Amino acid sequence: MNPRLLFLALIPVAAVSAGNWFVMMRLLDVRPIDCLPCAAWFVGAPLLLTLALIMLVRPSAPVAAPAPAPSPPPPPTLEEGALRLLGLLQQEGRLVDFLEEDVTPYDDEQIGAATRGIHEACRKALRERITVEPILAGAEGETVEVASGFDPATIRLVGNVAGSPPLRGVLRHAGWRVKTVTIPPRQGQDNRIIAPAEVEIA
């Protein structure tokens, strides 16, 4: 307890003890030597009672605040996400191997046969991590209307573009928009390592 507060609390107690002493000596005409229990009760009891109350109501130790939860790791940067996706496409579809291969010596039939497996594996890997949707509804070759105030980043006008929207034209490509992205982290790995080198030991 704060010593200053204890001192302030004992001042009225001392006053009460002195008053009891005065009453015992002057009004009751009892000398302490004649009745030691009486003197102890009138003088000492208020002090002991006050000390007991101070011990009972003394403030408890402050409760430690719970430790803050660890902050989540920062989201990957665009570069890290792109490298992870490229690593997945290489791991499951060997896309980088295919793109880096010189296909000039092969005829179309050989290239087509090799491409089928790569296409299926890369398509599966992409669909498991990224969900896409067409920007414009409709099949290619259908007539669509481009409303006024359209976003040039989502719709590109080609051909004989004249006048101002709304415009009507033939849908050549519906476009793609990413809905969700789920790319797992590569803990403890350099994202720039797309595929490790492989060495076969005889």
What the block records as the tokens of 126 is: 């992409």
Residue 168, C-beta contacts closer than 8 angstroms, at least 6 positions apart: 143, 144, 145, 146
Reported as a single tens digit per residue, the pLDDT across 1-29 is 556 655 666 666 666 666 666 666 665 56
Q: Which of 126, 48, 54, 43 is nearest to 84 (CA)?
A: 126
**Quick check: 144 pLDDT over 60?**
yes
What the block records as the tokens of 184 is: 């797992």
**Quick check: 161 pLDDT over 60?**
yes
Reported as a single tens digit per residue, the pLDDT across 98-123 is 889 898 888 888 888 888 889 999 99
pTM, full prediction: 0.53
Give the largest Cα separation in the chain, rounded.
131
